[in-house]
Amino acid sequence: MLLHLCTWAEVEARLEKSRGIIIPIGSTEQHGPNGLIGTDAICAEVFAKAVGEAADALVAPTIAVGMAQHHLGFSGSMTLRPSTLIAVIRDMVQSLRVHGFERFFFLNGHGGNVATVTAAFSEIYAEASLQPGLPNTPGLRCTLQNWYDAGAARQLSRELYGAQEGSHATPSEVSVTFHAYPEAIKQAVLDPPVAPSGRFTDAADYRRRFPDGRIGSNPGLASAADGKRIMDAVVPELASAYRAFVAAP
Ligand code: NI
């Protein structure tokens, strides 16, 4: 159930049953010639909603802007600095903590968020540990689950796209967004069909190395039908990961 479609009384009642919550986190950044700017936020959001239904879990509002400084060479991309994103995550967790939530399952759609989200968890734990005269808060636990790292997601992307999955603007993630928003499906010429691979530093470096925005991928292979297959395969795995996380002592 989505938190923003609940009343406060419903949230209070749910807290009697479970102290867990899913927080979708994505990014708003270019995804090549046919991928939507919101790809990472959309994927995190639709997976979180489906997992919330499958596991009867509460789902917080999506953190739709992430750490994406390297994409700013392309129109429409937005970023939070790592320090800003850490502050956003910390304040969201602490707000929910006030009400009694203790297990925070971050469902992530963007590789560029991983280091910052992990650092935010360290900040949150440090804040609990550093309170003078107070015991640590043993119930508080945060975890990060990238949907694309689920075993079923890896297996299906290998099967459907092989090496053409690449690492940015992948056919898997583009397929999921085409399934979620068929009205926004784009057609574009991809030249070359498989984008170059490599590393990058800042936004100018990224644009120079990857002129159309993709890294190593061929999102021309994406389809709404594949997106449905990926969701159907991955949601049960993420739901059981969530259940195990909340149930762990
Ligand atoms: Ni992405």
Specify the residue for token string 């991809």. 190
Find the 127 Cα to ligand 1 centroid distance in Å.
31
150-157: average pLDDT: 98
Q: Check: CB of residue 152 under 8 Å from CB of residue 238.
A: no
Specify the residue for token string 């994409």. 71
Q: pLDDT per residue over 130-142, tens digit each?
A: 887 766 556 799 9
The 3-state secondary structure of 66-93 reads: CCCHHHCCCCCCCCCCHHHHHHHHHHHH
Find the 39 Cα to ligand 1 centroid distance in Å.
6
List residues bridging with 31 in a β-sheet.
Answer: 35
Find the 126 Cα to ligand 1 centroid distance in Å.
30
Q: pLDDT per residue over 69-90, tens digit each?
A: 999 999 999 999 999 999 999 9
Q: What is the pTM of this model?
A: 0.96
**Beta sheet of 103-108, edge-to-edge order:** 20-25, 103-108, 141-146
Kindly list the structural domains of the chain, giving each domain's residue range(s) and its CATH number in brackets, ordered by start: 3-247 (3.40.50.10310)
Tokens of 159: 């099967």
One-letter identity of residue 53: E
Interacting residues of 12 by C-beta distance below 8 A, sequence separation 6+? 99
Find the 100 Cα to ligand 1 centroid distance in Å.
32
List, as ranges, residues with CB under 5 A of the ion ligand 1.
39-40, 173
pLDDT exceeds 90 at position 249: no
Find the 234 Cα to ligand 1 centroid distance in Å.
17
Q: pLDDT per residue over 159-207, tens digit each?
A: 999 999 999 999 999 999 999 999 999 999 999 999 999 999 999 999 9
The whole-number pLDDT of residue 74 equals 98
Q: pLDDT per residue over 26-66, tens digit each?
A: 999 999 999 999 999 999 999 999 999 999 999 999 999 99
The whole-number pLDDT of residue 139 equals 77
Find the 125 Cα to ligand 1 centroid distance in Å.
28
Find the 43 Cα to ligand 1 centroid distance in Å.
8
